[in-house]
Amino acid sequence: MIAPSILSADFARLAEEISAVGGEPGKRADWLHVDVMDAHFVPNLTLGLPVVESILKTTDIPIDCHLMIDDPDRWAPGYAEAGAHNVTVHVEAAHDPVNLAKDLRAAGAKAGLAIKPGTNFDDYVEVLKHYDTLLVMSVEPGFGGQKFMAEVLDKARKARQLVDTGHLKLLVEIDGGINAETIEQAAEAGVDCFVAGSAVYNAEDPAQAIEALRATAAPAFAHARA
């Protein structure tokens, strides 16, 4: 799955940028990744619920909201109620991640849990039993265009092993520095869904970039599982 990040899109032409990745099969985004930052949990400010509500009216691509915010227990359910397909919160910010997952599901969304590069995956395996998505951050959250941190792939491998053995039932997603070179490494580690910002929106043809990324990831994922 390819989830273009609109953090790298032209916000002055956001509807057009979203349309550019919502076309024909094979070149169409599986999810549209929307980064919500509050300038508190991360040192950057992007957009909030009103913009997400507007995006939901313009596209039928499932919206993948990544909330890099303080107090997600309070604010995250609103994104689910608005119609986001997947709402991801950071375990470092959540007060009660198990209860929050239940609230997100009750509001109609898939529940996602994100972990920063320095966060220990093993500490949250039991919590992840309540989630639908694990978002492995392969950069420090807050800004686009950062260099991929290959060392986080150990977390993806552990998650994939737990999924394959039935201990977890979730989708493994990765976000940060994903491009034509790094997506193969991530796919081999067992990642299902790849957030790609610059690799899609800095390309001359975003739809073609999605097709190329998917074509690189799919055989690497299959080969690693064989």
Tens of pLDDT, residue by residue over 141-174, are 887 777 899 999 999 999 999 999 999 999 999 9
Is pLDDT above 90 for 220?
A: no
Residue 219: the pLDDT is 86
Mean pLDDT of 113-117: 97
What band does 139 get if pLDDT is binned at 50, 70 and 90? very high
Token pair 């990642």 in the structure block, residue: 191
35 catalytic residue (yes or no)? yes
What is the sign, positive or negative, of the torsion defined by CA atoms of 108, 47, 27, 196?
negative
Q: What is the pLDDT of residues 8-47, one digit of tens each?
A: 999 999 999 999 999 888 899 999 999 999 999 998 899 9
Would you say 14 and 47 are in contact if contact means Cβ atoms under 8 Å apart? Answer: no
Q: How far apart are CA 54 and CA 58, in angstroms?
A: 7
Task: Write down the catalytic residue from 35, 103, 132, 192.
Answer: 35
| Highest mean pLDDT out of 25-34, 104-113, 213-222 | 104-113
* Cα first-last separation, the chain: 19
Q: Which residues are annotated as a binding site?
A: 5, 33, 35, 66, 142-145, 175-177, 197-198
Report the C-alpha gap between 137 and 14 in whole angstroms: 24
Annotated binding site for a divalent metal cation: 33, 35, 66, 175
Q: What is the pLDDT of residue 15?
A: 94
* Predicted local distance difference test score (pLDDT) of residue 224: 75
**What integer pLDDT is reported at residue 28 of this predicted model?**
95
Tell me the C-alpha to C-alpha distance, in Å, between residue 215 and each of 1, 44, 107, 200: 11, 33, 34, 14
pLDDT at 221: 82
**So what's the pLDDT on residue 25?**
81
Q: Which of 38, 64, 103, 175 is catalytic?
A: 175
Helix axis angle, 97-106 to 72-82, nearest 10°: 20
Which domains, and CATH codes, for the chain?
Answer: 2-224 (3.20.20.70)
Q: Is the pLDDT of residue 226 over 80?
A: no
Q: What is the reported pLDDT for 72?
A: 98
Question: What does the pLDDT read at residue 98?
Answer: 98
pTM, two decimals, is 0.94
Q: How many CA atoms lie within 13 Å of 176's alpha carbon, on the beta-carbon side?
A: 22
Active site annotation includes 175: yes
The answer to whether 211 and 31 are in contact (CB under 8 A) is no
- Of residues 121 and 26, which shows the higher confidence score? 121
Q: What percent of the chain has pLDDT over 70?
A: 100
Residues annotated in the binding site for substrate, as ranges?
5, 66, 142-145, 175-177, 197-198
